């Protein structure tokens, strides 16, 4: 048996909807299926406004533009994240300032943010790693006191709920979701920017439509449209929106199936945590998870390597997670040294993301668990 | 009868390929169908390297990044273009410098480029309006003498051939195609960047993959990848690539069907041109067209307005074309005045793009021609 790290889930309606989108001969962005996705997402999660984008990366870029980031501005974010979080900022001429993370969640450590704030800081950009909501309460409190905006890189956290019981993305000015095939809900390549500030919505339409005021023509306000701003083609084809809609309809089923996997992982790894061999995620007790991912932090990077290679021998894929941004080529060019964020560096050297996809609950979970159990026994004894 | 301005064409294989892409469970970028598109495009058109992108806009942005455009650089382009041509440059911190066009093609007037070159000029960025190749010979000669790079906004010119008999995009360092539903070949939203400089290909992979060197891991050169550069998610979902492949297979048929429409338009409008009432396109005799679009430049903007509104009464859609960039909101903010490009301003006030889509050759062309004939008679006599 072979257990991939990831595999897209099909709910059964993707084909039908996709073909209807094709036959409609309206294949570009913001047509029937896009509008249906937007309405459903707003209804399900209480978002202000939703802009479907070609990727989570594009959603981050659109958000960074919308927030008005400019040359020389600074944005505080974890170093333990994907390159897109930083590039969204770099592309505006702004500078990522990297913050340490907490081992309980691998999310930004809110108690280490304030020391990084300078006169140039404009934004805090946390991520919801593994679908675990970042500590938005503390982060928004800091942002409020220093007059900063907050955008959440919520690439992994669609349908998780934060400490206030609010859906991720609904409780912050800007949030960016990904619908890449590796996420809980996917349409190949896709994303969404959530805009909860109503005074930013008109300009968001301009940015999405290549910096034109086409939206005002569609709304009947103007008779011809033209170039009013920077912007890009932040649009998702209606063919992909049709696929996404089929996934959105089944979000509860997807989250429930993944919960089976996470519960089984938690059961297997908890005794090893109690014995001091490794750590597993400890999200705050008052959040609700979308069960996107599960990570294990081993006691040593040697044990991590042994675990990974012995799993691989059993055809079970696991993954090292992010290579921290501050200590890879581009971060070093910015002047960072690995030691500047010792906690991040250490955790990143010991963490593993386990295979997790929706169908694993139906097939392969037993084999994956047995394989892991055997490897762990070899590493730590029974 | 109702004649839309545009309508996507389906070749018949889109459904089958799209479903195969869905069932493969490899829906993200650069998988089976993307690779098939790339191989076919290279074989058909002689491109160096092809990068499928989420849009023509994204392809332009990726090209601008790849060319190393930076803060303060200047890029010479026509004002008569879509906002994306300018924004691709603006997003790098560079400045669009607008050049006049020629009425024969509505393309950049190569004889007006050299006077705009300064110490800060880095690139010439012409477009192939209506699928008519720009005068690449003269443009490349100027670029060579001043050590500038050339990127062509070839959004509309896939499968046209230039004065040297080479396919558009194959004869220049960088070219950006669009596969938006309004183009000859479409997949809803999509595009491609052509990179003909082999020394730029490796970095192009990094830019496409969110600024990471993931490509080196896929190639087996490195064991883990990370952040090495700026970049974005310049990837086209394999579901859309499957749609594009079905279109690429039928490019000859598409070009031939559109040729019928263009030939009929040319026949209808030529007598009016000879009588001095209007102008129609005059591409250089040694180019081969993809028959993407057809435009008519009326003698006065009043006649243009009458033509458009009387056609609309007959349910035939035509369109005013681009609102020049230099004289709309963002261009004015940059300091341009409408009079700075009087030729562009004048032509843009008199031009009309006629309805043109592949299926029009099969249905509706007679009605469209009759409607136009009647309107023209009313405007100019028989």
Could you report the per-residue pLDDT of B284-317, keeping only the tens digit for each? 989 999 999 999 999 999 999 999 999 999 999 9
Q: What is the mean pLDDT of the segment spanning B189-197?
A: 98
All residues of chain B having their beta carbon less than 8 Å from the beta carbon of residue A188 are: 27-29, 237-240
Q: Cα distance from A286 to chain B (closest Cα, Å)? A: 34
The dihedral formed by the CA atoms of B281, B135, B131 and B315, expressed in degrees to the nearest 10? -30
Alpha-carbon Rg of chain B, whole angstroms? Answer: 21
Helices B56-66, B201-208: axis angle to 10 degrees equals 130
Measured CA to CA, the distance from residue B277 to residue B266 in angstroms comes to 14
Quick: pLDDT tens for B82-101. 999 999 999 999 999 999 99
Quick: pLDDT tens for A257-310. 999 999 999 999 999 999 999 999 999 989 999 999 999 999 999 999 999 999
What confidence score (pLDDT) does residue A48 get? 98
From the list B297, B300, B288, the residue with the least C-alpha distance to B354 is B297
Interface test with A, best of B18, B54, B207, B326 (most A CBs within 10 A): B54
Q: What is the mean pLDDT of the segment spanning A13-33?
A: 97
From the list B313, B317, B333, the residue with the least C-alpha distance to B325 is B333
How far is C-alpha A285 from the geometric centre of its chain's CA atoms?
A: 20
Cross-chain residue pair B27–A14, CB shorter than 8 Å: no
Neighbour count for residue A364 (Cβ, 10 Å):
19
What is the percent of chain A where pLDDT is above 90?
A: 97
For B225-238, what is the HEC assignment? Answer: CCECCCCCECCCEH
All residues of chain A having their beta carbon less than 8 Å from the beta carbon of residue B326 are: none
Q: What is the mean pLDDT of the segment spanning A199-219?
A: 95
What confidence score (pLDDT) does residue A219 get? 85
All residues of chain A having their beta carbon less than 8 Å from the beta carbon of residue B238 are: 188
Of A69-78, A211-220, B48-57, B362-371, which gets the smallest average pLDDT? A211-220
Q: Which residue of A has its CA nearest to B321?
A: A224
User: What phi and psi, each to the nearest 5 degrees, are found at residue A217?
Assistant: -70, -45
All residues of chain A having their beta carbon less than 8 Å from the beta carbon of residue B351 are: none
Please state the pTM of the whole predicted model: 0.98
Beta-strand relationship, A121-124 and A74-78 = parallel
All residues of chain B having their beta carbon less than 8 Å from the beta carbon of residue A226 are: 83, 323, 325, 328-329
Q: What is the mean pLDDT of the segment spanning A206-233?
A: 93
SS3 B161: strand
> Which residues does B349 contact at the CB level (< 8 Å), separation at least 6?
B301, B304
Residue B26 — very low, low, confident or very high, per pLDDT cuts 50/70/90?
A: very high
Q: Cα distance from B58 to chain A (closest Cα, Å)? A: 7
Q: What is the mean pLDDT of the segment spanning B11-38?
A: 97
User: What phi and psi, each to the nearest 5 degrees, are found at residue B110?
Assistant: -65, -25
Cross-chain residue pair A210–B57, CB shorter than 8 Å: yes
Q: Cα distance from A310 to chain B (closest Cα, Å)? A: 17
What confidence score (pLDDT) does residue A218 get? 85
Measured CA to CA, the distance from residue A28 to residue A31 in angstroms comes to 7
Quick: pLDDT tens for A82-129. 999 999 999 999 999 999 999 999 999 999 999 999 999 999 999 999
Quick: pLDDT tens for B234-282. 999 999 999 999 999 999 999 999 999 999 999 999 999 999 999 999 9
Joined tokens for residue B278: 């209007």
> Which residues does A318 contact at the CB level (< 8 Å), separation at least 6?
A5, A307, A308, A311, A352, A353, A354, A355
> Which residues does B91 contact at the CB level (< 8 Å), separation at least 6?
A91, A230, A232, B61, B64
Alpha-carbon distance values, A209 to A48, A373, B93, B115 (Å): 19, 52, 19, 33
What confidence score (pLDDT) does residue A224 get? 87
Q: Which of B56, B83, B182 sits opposite A212 (nearest CB)?
A: B83
What is the percent of chain A where pLDDT is above 70?
A: 100
Q: Cα distance from A50 to chain B (closest Cα, Å)? A: 19
**Does the pLDDT value for residue A221 go beyond 90?**
no
Cross-chain residue pair A210–B87, CB shorter than 8 Å: yes
């Amino acid at each position: 048996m072979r257990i991939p790290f990831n595999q897209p889930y099909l709910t059964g309606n993707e084909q039908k909807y996709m073909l209807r989108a094709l036959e409609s001969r309206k294949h570009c962005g913001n047509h029937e299926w896009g509008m249906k996705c937007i309405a459903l997402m707003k209804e399900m999660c209480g978002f202000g406004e939703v802009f479907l984008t070609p990727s989570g990366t594009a959603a981050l870029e659109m958000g960074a533009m919308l927030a008005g980031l400019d040359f020389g501005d600074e944005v505080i974010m974890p170093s333990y994240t994907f390159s897109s979080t930083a590039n969204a900022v770099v592309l505006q001429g702004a500078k990522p300032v990297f913050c340490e993370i907490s081992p309980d969640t691998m999310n930004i450590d809110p108690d280490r943010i304030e020391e990084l704030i300078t006169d140039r800081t404009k934004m805090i950009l946390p991520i919801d790693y593994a679908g675990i909501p970042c500590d938005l309460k503390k982060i928004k409190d800091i942002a409020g006191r220093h007059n900063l905006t907050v955008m959440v890189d919520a690439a992994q956290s669609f349908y998780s709920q934060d400490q206030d019981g609010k859906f991720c993305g609904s409780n912050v000015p800007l949030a960016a979701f990904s619908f890449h095939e590796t996420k809980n809900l996917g349409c190949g390549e896709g994303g969404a920017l959530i805009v909860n500030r109503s005074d930013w919505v008109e300009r968001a339409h301009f940015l999405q439509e290549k910096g034109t005021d086409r939206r005002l023509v569609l709304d009947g306000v103007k008779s011809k449209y033209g170039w009013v701003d920077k912007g890009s083609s932040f649009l998702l084809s209606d063919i992909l929106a049709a696929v996404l809609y089929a996934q959105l309809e089944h979000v509860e089923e997807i989250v429930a199936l993944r919960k089976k996997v996470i519960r089984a992982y938690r059961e297997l790894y908890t005794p090893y945590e109690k014995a001091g061999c490794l750590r597993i995620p400890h999200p705050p007790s008052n959040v609700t998870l979308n069960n996107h991912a599960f990570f294990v932090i081993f006691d040593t990077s040697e044990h991590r390597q042994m675990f990974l290679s012995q799993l691989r021998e059993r055809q079970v894929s696991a993954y090292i997670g992010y290579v921290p941004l501050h200590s890879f080529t581009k971060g070093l060019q910015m002047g960072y040294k690995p030691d500047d964020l010792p906690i991040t560096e250490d955790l990143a050297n010991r963490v593993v993301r386990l295979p997790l996809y929706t169908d694993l609950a139906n097939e392969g979970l037993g084999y994956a668990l047995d394989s892991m159990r055997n490897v762990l026994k070899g590493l730590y004894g029974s």
